[in-house]
Amino acid sequence: MITALLADDEAHALSLLELLLHQTGEVKVIGRCGNGIDAIAQIARLKPDVAFLDIEMPGMNGLEVAERLGSSACDTQVVFVTAYDRYAVSAFENDALDYLLKPLEVDRLNRTVGRVKRAVARKKSEAPEQADAGKVAADKPPAELQVQLLGEIQVSVEGRGRLKWRTSKEKELFAYLAVHYGSRIHRDVLLDELWPDEHYQKAKVYLHTCVSYLRRDFRQLGMEDAVIYEDEKYSLAPQLERSDYREFVDAAAGLLQPGGSNAEQLERTVNLYSGRLFRSEDYQWADDEIRHTEAAIEAQLLRLTQLYEEQRDYGRMIAAGRRLLQHSPYNEEAYRILMKAYAGSGKHDEVYRVYEEMERRLDELQIQASDMTVSLYEGLRVRKRG
């Protein structure tokens, strides 16, 4: 027989559900409570096969209870009981095995009980196989996980392929948590940043749905507990916090240390940068991170060209200068670097072409080159004639 816990803040609703479940002859109710906090405590103590959770309970609602269960090693199945219409309920299905609409219908309840029975039986039959698989996996090195935030947002696991996002908001939630690595983000901050125009309760539903999507999708890649939830705060699992963005930021910070800006270290850091943070997305909340990242790569490329100039390595100086222009096409300093590099390598015709390219760019902004740039160009022309 299936064991069940019921959670609803309406006593008569609890009694009716318990009666109907008893009449199925398949379910034994081993616990009842009127709020989400008590539900969490009783589920942890009683370990029921299934929890029937009302969506709208005071304090911690049913969605949040399911969130907590999803963050723990809990085998309890979840069935939502709600007065929401069927359109709204479609968002909840991703967090639960099933849902029941109020007023309860006996036929629908019987189908739900059958579904719970099959899920519980399947879980028990899979337990020995999962234990054996766990022993085998323990002897193998963990699959390599790659999280890319610079350029396109991509997550892949060696041997399992690339994660496919179900919705744009699922991807945005992952991006937000990933770029704020090392931080636990309060639920209300996420609601304000990702759903600023939505009603609070509706935004909470969207957040819970996206969290459920992330957990389910990463589970398909062989990773449990991708999103951690505690004290109304969210974070990614530690292995998901390692990304190309974090590697670049950490390397850039290392360059600020004494002796940390030699050419080899700069080259290594510059090569970590594969494109603008969240290149194809328009995340307004990420404006500061994007600006800081762009400023960091430009500063490193500029410093790299200076080192190449000191070494008279004009070929690499040209390559770094061109890359600097890709990031900042109106940066006069980049054009001055290229003119000096081409002049140093004896390619005086290229000096003229670079100057013309700069003039075209500045014309787009309806501004003229600075006196410093004009003076440098004239000096290089005189040197050529000399």
pLDDT at residue 19 in the model: 97
> Distance between CA 123 and CA 299 in Å, rounded?
55
pLDDT tens digits along 101-123: 999 999 999 999 999 999 999 88
> Distance between CA 53 and CA 23 in Å, rounded?
19
Q: How many CA atoms lie within 13 A of 264 on its CB side?
A: 1
SS3 61: coil
Tokens of 205: 């539903």
Contact 53, 62 (CB under 8 A): yes
DSSP 8-state assignment for residue 80: E
Instruction: Give the H/E segment covering residue 123.
Output: helix 106-138
Domains in the chain with CATH codes = 2-135 (3.40.50.2300), 142-281 (1.10.10.10), 312-385 (1.25.40)
Q: Where are the beta strands (DSSP E) in the chain?
A: 2-7, 27-33, 50-54, 77-82, 98-101, 145-148, 154-157, 161-162, 185-186, 227-230, 233-236
pLDDT at residue 68 in the model: 84
> Distance between CA 201 and CA 133 in Å, rounded?
41
> Distance between CA 39 and CA 294 in Å, rounded?
48
pLDDT tens digits along 198-253: 998 888 888 988 998 899 899 888 888 899 988 889 999 998 989 999 999 999 98
SS3 366: coil
Tokens of 346: 């004896």
pLDDT at residue 87 in the model: 45
Residue ranges in the chain modelled with pLDDT below 70: 73, 85-95, 127-143, 258-260, 384-386
pLDDT at residue 86 in the model: 57
Residue at token pair 């005086």: 348
DSSP 8-state assignment for residue 155: E
pLDDT at residue 221 in the model: 86
In this prediction the pTM is 0.77
